[in-house]
Structure 1
Amino acid sequence: MGSFLFFLTSFFFYPLISGISFSEFVYPNFTASYLQFVDDSGAFLFSPNGAFKASIYNPEGQQTNFYLCIIHVASNAIIWSANRNDPISKSGKMDLTREGISIFDENGNLKWSTLKLQEAVYALQLTEMGNLVLLDQSNASIWESFHHPTDTIVLGQHLHAGAMLSNAVSGYNLSTGDYKFMITSSDALLLWRGQIYWKLSMDTQAYMNSNYVVNYMAINKTGLYLFGGNGSVVVTQVSLSLSNFRIAKLDLSGQFTVLSLSGNDLKKEFLGPVDSCRIPSICGTAGLCTADSTTNTPVCSCPAGFSAASNSKGGCLPSDASHSLPVACDSTNNGSQLNSSVESYLRLGYGMNYFSLLFSEPRYDVDLSACQNLCSGDCSCLGIFYDSASAHCYVLESELGSIISSNTLGNDLLGYIKVLVGQRRRSSTGSPGNQRKGFPVVALVLLPFTGFSLLVVLGLLWWRRSNIIMLREIKLGQPNSLSLEDLEAFNILGLPQRFYYEDLKAATDNFKNRIGSGGFGTVYKGILPDKTMVAVKKITNLGIQGKNEFFTEVAIIGNIHHVNLVKLRGFCAQGQQRLLVYEYMNRGSLDRTLFGNGPVLEWQERFDIALGTARGLAYLHSGREQKIIHCDVKPENILLQDHFQAKISDFGLSKLLNPEQSSLFTTMRGTRGYLAPEWLTNSAISEKTDVYSFGMVLLELVSGRKNCSVPSQSRSVVGSNSGGGNSSSSSGSGLVYFPLFALEMHEQGRYLELADPRLESRVTSEEVEKLVRVALCCVHEEPALRPNMVTVVGMLEGGIPLTQPRMESLNFLRFYGRRFTEASMIEEQDKQSNIMPHQHAVTATSITGSFTGFSYISSQQISGPR
């Protein structure tokens, strides 16, 4: 009887107490509405930690659209919504039954439900991570909101390959918008109405660790990751500052953002694409987007020949009211409008770009007329872009987005928008536009003459442009530089921007400001017309047989994008001139900073440089389909930007050496410092050769001095830090082969002896040990024992345990150390005896016998320019 009374009491009074919010669980036969929980802003369920709440919510306080939402309490950010495409009023309700969750409007019409479940529902749980979960009798999950993402994911949530996020229409209308963020088996993409406009792999902050198939994307306290190997392998990562709470969101505008909690606000940490003008419809159909130079915000206008549309969608329409923009055909529209209309093209002019050109496969080897013919009559084509330098034709299909205004483009890319001539265009009020009566009859007479005239004009323009180019090159004494071979070379896909020689000559003030030199040529500082600083590399002694080979190599290098690799902005191939244009690195090369007399590099800066260099090499070795071996890793080829961000230069350039120079790479028996033992034995050169060189660079970062040099008294390692102990790596004169000294100090556990004395006490033994152990593993004599660069990155980051160096594979350093000491002593004796340099070289060779590992050819002679 008591149980029955308790049941009746609970049954009748449940509605009276249901206005009280619950923690973690609610159970079937539960109902919630906004009015029922109005005092708590519609929240009926909180996570145990109070970080999240489930609520019948009206975004931005409006009173028409109410949704079942999961909300992050501190920031008030919506991380999930159930009925995003079917809002209810404040009188609508949510029911929890044993069949699942259902949402009804005020009239009792079903708007959304969890559909049919495999098991009966026992409870509804809101977890501490913000996951809304339906549990069965055994507490097993039978449905989760994490498996049905909307526009956001949070820590602990996986976005699996094939799944996607969709943006909301507005802040108060959560309906699915036109933008999608999708995970594929190899990348993360942004799409607008099926067209790609951004890839994670192209972002400068993204680092590719491996070529595994992507299983899912996740965010955690350290960054954003694409995982493969069932979660055991990081395929791509974006490292961010440490944060206890962050979300990844596809925002209203179509940008993919990662945000972290700062106080009660979410601050943007990562943005893709960074250039908002690359968002397809940022300025509406045919709108012109220009990035504000100070705020980097988009400024919308209309191209010449267009005016602002007066409808609610915005964008631009042809200024001539007799012209209208076609609608691309699809399954419901077969393009009948084109069959009854005359097509024409409105020219956009130079300096224009379009979001899809980076992701579209162009048509090759066509002229402008043929490019337009590809679009004419095709009901899915809405415009074209034509690159006159490469004879590439890009077709704009399906949907027409915004046009990008770019001051970095040359005069090679020209855009055209298809219009229908004679179509009646209605204004926003529905009244007819100004239509020319009788036009179709006149058109039948005039169009043949107009078309012929247009072809003549285009032919004259092409002839005039060709002659201008030829005249410009004749002025340089290169009248035959615009050859058929040049034109054929431009058919190679992916070439970066082409510069003219005289433009680079002007940018570098006639090549006066020299900032580096090496085996590939000389580097000059330049300033482009848009005030961008660049490094212009004049390549000498070009070795590849044909220009097509040069263009192919440039295309490969130009399409390598990584935050720790110097970016190739463009090239020049004019007559016999070959120049490469790189981004300018304002802090110069590592050797100048590390070994110079300027401010000392602090330990954290050295570690960041080591990690950045390792990431860059890992990307070259395994982050691309085509592996690239640098062959000349050393401080001179590691450049520094603001905050000492490291970027590797001269990757991929070894193929540009002439036969005489390339022989240095195949027969050189070592340069003091960086070349691996396999160079001495004519063994196969692999990516492990770069690993060895990186290990040597790591030791120099630790000590702040060259591995093969005589330390000054003020910075001598031996004597100043050794505590009087003897070492076979040194002699009485203080000569030190530092890699051997590092090996000996590692054996004795005396790591602080190896640190740059200028750091004084600002580094710990554990910090030095970490870099020294990684370095010694990298310089193992047998390439197979060296770790790959992905593993090196893992050890530096802490995700992979440090391994112990193999002593048996490091004994060769003792031999190197003895030879270095002998050769250095002879060099000092020769100086005192005034022996001529050529005599000195002979003497040194006779001492070292068959071992020529310390040939007196400097590393500068085989390095690429900086």
Structure 2
Amino acid sequence: MFFASAAPSALLMGFLFVLPTIFFSCTLVSAIPFSELIYPNFTGSYLQFIDASGAFLLSRNGTYKAAICNPDAQQINFYLCVVHVASNAMIWSANRNQPFSEAGNIYLTSKGITIVNGTGNEVWSALPNQSSVNALLLSEMGNLVLVDRANVSLWESFHNPTDTIVIGQHLPVGTSLFSAVSASDLSTGDYQLGLTSSDAILQWNGQTYWKLSMDTRAYTVSGYMVEFMTINRTGLYLFGSNGSVVIQVALVSADFQIAKLDASGKFTVSSFSNGKWNREFLGPSDSCRLPFVCGRIGQCSDNSASNTPSCSCPSNFHLSSPNSNTCAPIDGSFALFSACNSSNNGSQVNSSAASYLTIGYGYDYFSNDFSQQLNYGLNLSVCQEVCSGDCSCFGVFYENSSGSCYKIENKLGSVILSTNSENDLLGYIKVVAAASTNFNGNNNSGDQSQKLPVVALILLPAAACCGLIAIGFVWLRRRRISKLGEVKLGQPNSPSSEELDAFHIPGLPRRFDYKELEVATDNFKTHIGSGGFGAVYKGILPDKTVVAVKKITNLGIQGKRDFCTEIAVIGNIHHVNLVKLKGFCAQGRARLLVYEYMNRGSLDRILFGTGPVLEWQERFNIALGTARGLAYLHSGCEQKIIHCDIKPENILLHDQFQAKISDFGLSKLLSPEQSSLFTTMRGTRGYLAPEWLTNSAISEKTDVYSFGMVLLELVSGRKNCLLRTQSHSLEDDSSGSHSSSSSGSGLVYFPLFALEMHEQGKYLELADPRLENRVTSQEVERMIRVALCCAHEEPSLRPNMVAVVGMLEGRIPFCQPRVESLNFLRFYGRRFTEASVIGEENGSNNAILYSQANAFLTSAAGGSYRAVSYMSSQQVSGPR
């Protein structure tokens, strides 16, 4: 064994046993450290070995030393430790959780090692009971070992690691590294590196935030079960049975390598050569993935310029104090939730009474990639209810596309400002009502706190009367101003706007002045679009940001406060697939919305235009992005929003054809006098769900139907009402409709044609011919099946948008369209054909035919469809 050659000379041993008091009788006299071994009846203190930097034992070649250390040269906490001499790196400490003062002592006896503090109380010990201790040895690998007379190991520091392992040391499954609190406080911190049967993982308060196998430099060699982790001159390894490598990380060759879990939670492998450190490996490589890098609720964003994380507070939160690393609710009536069985200003926290503050969209949390989602397809309210009933839950992250719910458990860390365009998580932090402050500043107010001075009993009623008079005066004055303002109500800067400017609604996006937007748009010069609510203009703000400014002209007479309240709702909705509202203007009757500018315009211009054809993958990505945006509106917001007008014109495209839904939420801005126009205003012919036409209840499933119609148009590259030949072949005409070269051409309702081709399994007949065989039948089938399921007549049979996202992503099985709920398309198709025949008899051209048929279809459905909508399939479709 490696202990055999370690015995010192007999002369030296006799000297040590005979004259121990010569060395240790006076703590002011420094001592020389021993080499490799010391024996029982040894006593040492920091002051004895101060000239040797606290070292009392050196390894054979002086590579390592056992010493009494005071990290960071502080004179408070002292530890028994092992140090690499050349680099001065501490690789192990004994009493990390119970430091002693410089007056403490270390004792080596036949029972083992004991450390006592200045008052004589034991703070740490290693007392193996197998047999008597013969010596304490420090090996050349840095292992501190208690051995018996046969040089058999009784206890080793390598078997009791702290935060570091070195070359030759094994970290077996069941053993962990724990970080220190700081460089000067070696107490056990919150971070842990442990081993599972297949990986090495980092955890913070029991929550995983990194795995070795995730790193791009980690190479998985085999599938054996992991037994231990080790490090050598050229690599970091996870070993399995029979010496098989499970995972390997190659390193630059060096004689001294250490793997350390530092106080911040980073796992690093570093080498030391030529007097300097070189970092060979780091996990996680993204500092924002460290759980507490920005403190509690701190927002971490990557600062690529300095390669360091940038910390701030998310929306609805601010620093609790200038020197604090904790963010607190801006609204002082709320406080962050405290764990159950803890006190909050002396009162027990009730988890079931919790509320939630959103941190907005676009955030992630370190544990979301590793947490088991609560369930699939939950709505937001259920997700929050699960957290409210859990004492260990501090908040939730809700995934809109799948309805998955992830809990923030055990302890609340930092949040990550995500750069992932696919991220559709929305974070909610649990808060409780802040404890009220006792007026008297104590809890022993007794009856005095409930008694009022006599003078107060006289003054309070008088003050109340004065207040009522003042309120009445203000009300009369505002009413007078309001009536005066009605004369010039159409002007942005009317007197009524001055009166309405005297309020503030928290959560509003940026507020623009009308003149400011007038300048930005060059007096509304560049018209880029229009819709049911008004015209859209291109603008450039002073900071060179390009925006789209919408002048709302069909809003009706609506109070400014109501308008701003709705804008506050829309302005707090953030999703990668929704056009972002940057600001608004509300002066007099002027109502303007400022949106981010979408440089590729609307989907209809690209899909139905004469420019380059959209490739199939681009179409699929647009469909998926739109579905995710709708899923968020329906189930990811605090308040459900039904769009009511999903169509290609309201799907805008940005770089890389990223789809973003526009005009969401604006239906909430309709005034009461416009309610009779709701159907006409919020629906578009060709995308109207049957319930619009039959005066049935409107729900989010109305948007699902419209989305199905858009899917059909994405597949075909055509509007859903188009022209065809007798052989069903379809050709474009210059108007954006599609015509036939045959004299027997007529209008066809494309959704019905899609249903017929689905029944016959001829999916490629439905694909845009401009794709020229660059799409497979299976790809078209997937989209068509989803589209037809969305188009079911009964809203209850349509999938919700979360399920649609899952089907498009391939995470859940595709639904099977139910023909009995699609037979209404045959009625629509027959009405459409009738309109076609009437138009042709009147000599109408294709564009007029298209318009007439569409109008006839809508009016006919609104009048007679109700009478036939629940007939049998044979009655509706006729013989087949």
TM-score, normalisation: structure 2 = 0.50
2:340 equivalent to 1:329 = yes
Query: Could you tell me how far 1:402 is from its partner in structure 2?
Result: 0.4
Question: CA contact under 8 A between 1:473 and 1:481: conserved in structure 2?
Answer: no
Question: CA contact under 8 A between 1:167 and 1:179: conserved in structure 2?
Answer: yes
The aligned residue for residue 541 of structure 1 is 776
> What do the CA deviations read for 1:130-189 (whole angstroms, capped 9, x no partner)?
000011000111110000000000000000011100111111111000111111111101
2:117 equivalent to 1:108 = no
Instruction: Pick from 6, 22, 36 the counterpart of residue 13 of structure 1.
Output: 22
CA distance in 2, matches of 1:196, 1:425: 39
Structure 2 letter corresponding to 1:229: S
Structure 1 letter corresponding to 2:382: A
Residue 358 of structure 1 aligns to a residue whose secondary structure is coil
Question: CA contact under 8 A between 2:55 and 2:66: conserved in structure 1?
Answer: yes
The aligned residue for residue 224 of structure 1 is 236
The aligned residue for residue 388 of structure 1 is 400
2:312 equivalent to 1:301 = yes
> What do the CA deviations read for 1:322-347 (whole angstroms, capped 9, x no partner)?
100111336999x9845387432211
Structure 1 letter corresponding to 2:47: L
Structure 1 letter corresponding to 2:175: A
Instruction: Pick from 607, 623, 626 the counterpart of residue 476 of structure 1.
Output: 607
Question: CA contact under 8 A between 2:360 and 2:573: conserved in structure 1?
Answer: no
Query: Could you tell me how far 1:394 is from its partner in structure 2?
Result: 1.7
Question: CA contact under 8 A between 1:286 and 1:401: conserved in structure 2?
Answer: yes
CA distance in 2, matches of 1:228, 1:425: 60
Output aligned runs, 1:331-480, within 5 Å.
337-339=348-350, 342-362=353-373, 363-410=375-422, 412-424=424-436, 472=603, 476=607
The aligned residue for residue 224 of structure 2 is 212
CA distance in 1, matches of 2:267, 2:291: 13
Residue 357 of structure 1 aligns to a residue whose secondary structure is coil
Output aligned runs, 1:250-649, within 5 Å.
250-310=261-321, 314-329=325-340, 337-339=348-350, 342-362=353-373, 363-410=375-422, 412-424=424-436, 472=603, 476=607, 502-503=653-654, 505-506=656-657, 540-541=775-776, 543=778, 547=782
CA distance in 2, matches of 1:309, 1:375: 24
CA distance in 1, matches of 2:282, 2:120: 42
2:129 equivalent to 1:117 = yes
CA distance in 1, matches of 2:383, 2:12: 83
Residue 374 of structure 1 aligns to a residue whose secondary structure is helix
CA distance in 2, matches of 1:194, 1:425: 35
| Residues 47 and 125 of structure 1, relative CA distance in 2, 3 Å threshold | same
> What do the CA deviations read for 1:622-653 (whole angstroms, capped 9, x no partner)?
xxxxxxxxxxxxxxxxxxxxxxxxxxxxxxxx
Query: Could you tell me how far 1:367 is from its partner in structure 2?
Result: 2.3
CA distance in 1, matches of 2:13, 2:220: 64
Query: Could you tell me how far 1:117 is from its partner in structure 2?
Result: 2.5
Residue 314 of structure 1 aligns to a residue whose secondary structure is coil
Question: CA contact under 8 A between 1:210 and 1:234: conserved in structure 2?
Answer: yes
| Residues 369 and 267 of structure 1, relative CA distance in 2, 3 Å threshold | same
Query: Could you tell me how far 1:243 is from its partner in structure 2?
Result: 1.1
Question: CA contact under 8 A between 1:342 and 1:422: conserved in structure 2?
Answer: no
| Residues 221 and 332 of structure 1, relative CA distance in 2, 3 Å threshold | farther
Question: CA contact under 8 A between 2:267 and 2:282: conserved in structure 1?
Answer: yes
| Residues 574 and 277 of structure 1, relative CA distance in 2, 3 Å threshold | closer
The aligned residue for residue 207 of structure 2 is 195
The aligned residue for residue 183 of structure 2 is 171
Structure 1 letter corresponding to 2:365: Y
> What do the CA deviations read for 1:184-243 (whole angstroms, capped 9, x no partner)?
11110100000000011111111100110000000001110000014x100001011111
CA distance in 2, matches of 1:479, 1:358: 26
Q: Note the residue ranges of structure 1 that are not aligned, 5 or more in a row.
A: 432-436, 438-452, 492-499, 509-537, 552-572, 580-866
CA distance in 2, matches of 1:105, 1:289: 42
| Residues 98 and 412 of structure 1, relative CA distance in 2, 3 Å threshold | same
| Residues 542 and 31 of structure 1, relative CA distance in 2, 3 Å threshold | farther
Question: CA contact under 8 A between 1:23 and 1:45: conserved in structure 2?
Answer: yes
Structure 1 letter corresponding to 2:410: S
CA distance in 1, matches of 2:621, 2:259: 55
CA distance in 2, matches of 1:203, 1:406: 19
Residue 39 of structure 1 aligns to a residue whose secondary structure is helix
Question: CA contact under 8 A between 2:577 and 2:626: conserved in structure 1?
Answer: no
Question: CA contact under 8 A between 1:133 and 1:145: conserved in structure 2?
Answer: yes
TM-score, normalisation: structure 1 = 0.51
| Residues 242 and 376 of structure 1, relative CA distance in 2, 3 Å threshold | same
| Residues 476 and 390 of structure 1, relative CA distance in 2, 3 Å threshold | farther
Identity percentage of aligned residues: 49
Residue 401 of structure 1 aligns to a residue whose secondary structure is coil
CA distance in 2, matches of 1:128, 1:219: 16
CA distance in 1, matches of 2:235, 2:442: 51
| Residues 366 and 27 of structure 1, relative CA distance in 2, 3 Å threshold | same
| Residues 575 and 235 of structure 1, relative CA distance in 2, 3 Å threshold | closer
Question: CA contact under 8 A between 1:485 and 1:547: conserved in structure 2?
Answer: no
| Residues 338 and 364 of structure 1, relative CA distance in 2, 3 Å threshold | farther
CA distance in 1, matches of 2:32, 2:151: 24
Query: Could you tell me how far 1:412 is from its partner in structure 2?
Result: 2.3
Query: Could you tell me how far 1:482 is from its partner in structure 2?
Result: 5.5
Query: Could you tell me how far 1:13 is from its partner in structure 2?
Result: 3.0
Query: Could you tell me how far 1:291 is from its partner in structure 2?
Result: 1.5
CA distance in 2, matches of 1:191, 1:137: 41
CA distance in 1, matches of 2:137, 2:153: 10
Query: Could you tell me how far 1:108 is from its partner in structure 2?
Result: 1.1
The aligned residue for residue 592 of structure 2 is none
Instruction: Pick from 81, 84, 87 the counterpart of residue 93 of structure 2.
Output: 81
| Residues 6 and 207 of structure 1, relative CA distance in 2, 3 Å threshold | closer
Higher relative contact order (CA closer than 8 Å, sequence separation 6+): 1
CA distance in 1, matches of 2:808, 2:101: 71
Residue 19 of structure 2 aligns to a residue whose secondary structure is helix
| Residues 352 and 372 of structure 1, relative CA distance in 2, 3 Å threshold | same
The aligned residue for residue 244 of structure 2 is 233
Structure 1 letter corresponding to 2:132: A
The aligned residue for residue 29 of structure 1 is 41
Question: CA contact under 8 A between 1:351 and 1:410: conserved in structure 2?
Answer: no
Query: Could you tell me how far 1:479 is from its partner in structure 2?
Result: 12
Query: Could you tell me how far 1:459 is from its partner in structure 2?
Result: 15
| Residues 165 and 332 of structure 1, relative CA distance in 2, 3 Å threshold | farther
CA distance in 2, matches of 1:461, 1:540: 36
CA distance in 1, matches of 2:394, 2:605: 40
Output aligned runs, 1:50-61, within 5 Å.
50-61=62-73
After TM superposition, the structure 1 stretch with the greater mean CA deviation from structure 2, 366-375 or 412-421, is: 366-375
> What do the CA deviations read for 1:639-698 (whole angstroms, capped 9, x no partner)?
xxxxxxxxxxxxxxxxxxxxxxxxxxxxxxxxxxxxxxxxxxxxxxxxxxxxxxxxxxxx
| Residues 278 and 12 of structure 1, relative CA distance in 2, 3 Å threshold | closer
Instruction: Pick from 237, 243, 250 the counterpart of residue 254 of structure 2.
Output: 243
The aligned residue for residue 663 of structure 1 is none
Question: CA contact under 8 A between 1:388 and 1:413: conserved in structure 2?
Answer: yes
CA distance in 2, matches of 1:83, 1:162: 21
Question: CA contact under 8 A between 2:364 and 2:416: conserved in structure 1?
Answer: yes
After TM superposition, the structure 1 stretch with the greater mean CA deviation from structure 2, 77-86 or 285-294, is: 285-294
| Residues 479 and 577 of structure 1, relative CA distance in 2, 3 Å threshold | closer
CA distance in 1, matches of 2:103, 2:404: 59
Q: CA RMSD in A?
A: 4.7
Residue 125 of structure 1 aligns to a residue whose secondary structure is strand
Query: Could you tell me how far 1:18 is from its partner in structure 2?
Result: 8.1
The aligned residue for residue 847 of structure 2 is none
